Amino acid sequence: MNLGTRIFTLLNGRVVGRDGAGNTYYEDRKERSGTHRRRWVDYAGEPEATKVPAEWHAWLHYTTDAPIPDAGKRVWQKPHQANATGTAQSYRPPGHEYAGGKRDKATGDYESWTPGS
């Protein structure tokens, strides 16, 4: 959080809660006439929007009035993970250059196209 946002948060923000990743969520202390209260997040570490779990995303975008509590999650729901695209933790399929560059031979169900045939 930069200095301006930190000062704005100290003067105008009210802590609503924190998620498992350590992000802190705020909203305006005072009602604003004709519109809803502003909501924002202070990221723990590097600011990255994919670090916001679905229950807090819904709250930030005014889909819900309150964040969905952890007790409201279903047993089949997995814990939130930030998008790993472009990092060392990103998915690399078999045959990818970074994963060794070797893939299984074709099984015969593929026939390549040749021009003029």
Supply the DSSP symbol for 32.
-
Number of independent structural domains in the chain: 1
76-100 residue pLDDT tens: 888 878 888 888 888 888 778 776 7
Residue 102 belongs to some domain of the structure: no
Residue 15 belongs to some domain of the structure: yes
Q: Of 30, 24, 108, give the one whose Cα is nearest residue 60.
A: 24
Residue 16 belongs to some domain of the structure: yes
CA distance 63 to 39: 12
Residue 39 belongs to some domain of the structure: yes
CA distance 3 to 9: 10
Give the global pTM.
0.67
Residue 2 belongs to some domain of the structure: yes
Domain that holds residue 28: 1-70
Residue 6 belongs to some domain of the structure: yes
9-64 residue pLDDT tens: 999 999 999 988 899 999 999 988 888 899 999 999 889 888 898 889 999 999 98
CA distance 46 to 112: 46
Compute CA 68 distance to the chain's CA centroid, rounded to the nearest angstrom.
Answer: 16
Do 39 and 59 touch, CB atoms closer than 8 A?
yes
